[in-house]
Amino acid sequence: MRINHNIASMVSQGSLFKSSRSMSKSLEKLSTGLRINRASDDAAGLGISENLRTQVRGAGQAMNNTQDFIALLNVAEGALNEQSDIMQRMRELVVQAKNDTYTQIERNYMGEEFEALTRELDRIAQVTNYNGMRLFALFDDADSANGDPKRSLVAGTIWDDTSDAVFGADDNGKATHFNMMVGQNYSTDDSDALNTGAQLNSFDKSAKNLITIQLGQMDSTGLFFKNAQIGGEFIKYLTGFAETTNAFDNPDPPIPALTPMQQRFGETVQDKLQTLLEVIDGTDTTNPTAGALVTNATNTNYTGIERINRMRAYIGATINRLEHTSNNLLTSEANQQAAESIIRDVDFAGETANFTKNQIITQTATSMLAQANIRPQSVLSLLG
């Protein structure tokens, strides 16, 4: 019998150490619910699950971004709905004024209401905002880089292919744009789709994870003028409902003398009212810049109710698209979360069995270690 080295005790200690370590890991997995708590548990699985976790969290934030932009577009659409009601009332006034049962005095009363409604159109365009950022462009907006709340664009288009602009390539109004991050990544396709220079940091349609939306110029200048350069005197001229340029008493500022371009719209009250009716309906085919007659088939510089309808149609189509985008992100987030769960989460049934097994082995090893430590004491009987 040897007492310097208790081999039985050492074996029992090793078994107890291993079972205790295994039981500690099982406790950690059961307490966290994760099969992989550190790289040593499964290095490859950890790498895959971290990549999946990145996609899951990115998809969740992209879905929030999408909902935020749907809210932004709903704000814009609500303002356009009120502008549409105003334009309908304006049209009623013009149709009423065309009736010769009214004298010039009554027509001027109608013109005063028309002018007040025009100011309200401008006010709505100016105050409609989301998070302090004005949504619609105005006639006097300066061209600015993305990041400025105005987000103005020079030519009213944000894409290299100007035919994709909301009001067509020939629109003379300003526009605002907003970039929406609707994907969970930023790829090389997105980098290549970034427009700089005249497009002011917008993204064209080849972008995979970003969408640039454009909101046009919806003040009275954009709604009434085929060419924004005509200026405010044009609306005063047309809304005077009079045979002369000074329809309103003592206008401030005074209405300037008509230019040859403005004279083309007619001097008689019926000529002016007919032109105004066509502008409100968006069917006026007069191009005040070139002095030629064109059609909306070739000149998509829409005015009046038609301009509002096109803007609302664009917003509605974009909202519907974003709702599908949100649905896809929700499905993608759920599926990728399930994939991560398969790799990273612990199987409680199996791990509970392992824990029970290690618990029994630990108790047995502890008991055997006690027996192994007592065994060398039998040497004392030889010394008795």
- Mean confidence (pLDDT) of the chain: 76
Of the listed ranges 20-29, 145-154, 334-343, the least confidently predicted one is 145-154
Predicted TM-score (pTM) of this structure: 0.75
Q: By the 8 A CB rule, do 200 and 186 touch?
A: no
CA 175 to chain centre: 16
Split at pLDDT 50, 70, 90, the class of 262 is very low
Confidence of residue 365 (pLDDT cuts 50, 70, 90): confident
The residue with tokens 């829409």 is 302
- At residue 249 the predicted structure's pLDDT band, cuts being 50, 70 and 90, is very low
How many residues can be counted in the chain? 384
Cα–Cα separations (whole angstroms), residue 359 to 26, 31, 114:
10, 16, 87
> Residue 153: beta bridge partners?
175
pLDDT surpassing 70 at residue 366: yes
Going by C-alpha positions, the residue among 334, 201, 47 that lies closest to residue 326 is: 334
Find which of 19-28, 60-69, 209-218, 357-366 is predicted with most confidence, using mean pLDDT. 60-69
Is the pLDDT at 292 greater than 70? The verdict is no
- Is residue 309 packed enough to be buried (19+ CB in 10 Å), middle (13-18) or exposed (0-12)? middle
Per-residue tokens: 159: 């894409």
Name the CA dihedral angle for 358, 362, 368, 370, rounded to a multiple of 10 degrees: 180
The dihedral sign for the CA sequence 165, 225, 83, 131: positive
Whether residue 373 contacts residue 6, with contact meaning beta carbons closer than 8 Å, is answered with: yes
- Tell me how far apart the alpha carbons of residues 348 and 334 are, in angstroms, rounded to a whole number: 21
Can you give the pLDDT at residue 187? 82
Which residue from 258, 167, 147, 159 is spatially nearest to 215, judged by alpha carbons? 167
Region for 56 from its dihedrals, namely left if φ exceeds 0, alpha if ψ lies in -120 to 50, beta otherwise: alpha
Integer Cα distance of 273 and 381 in angstroms? 129
Structure token digits, residue 352: 């509970």
> Order of strands, edge to edge, in the sheet holding 152-153?
152-153, 175-181, 210-216
- The CATH number for 55-330, chosen from 1.20.120.420, 3.40.430.10, 3.40.50.300, 1.20.1330.10, is 1.20.1330.10
Closest CA to 31 of 346, 337, 357: 346
pLDDT above 50 (res 20): yes
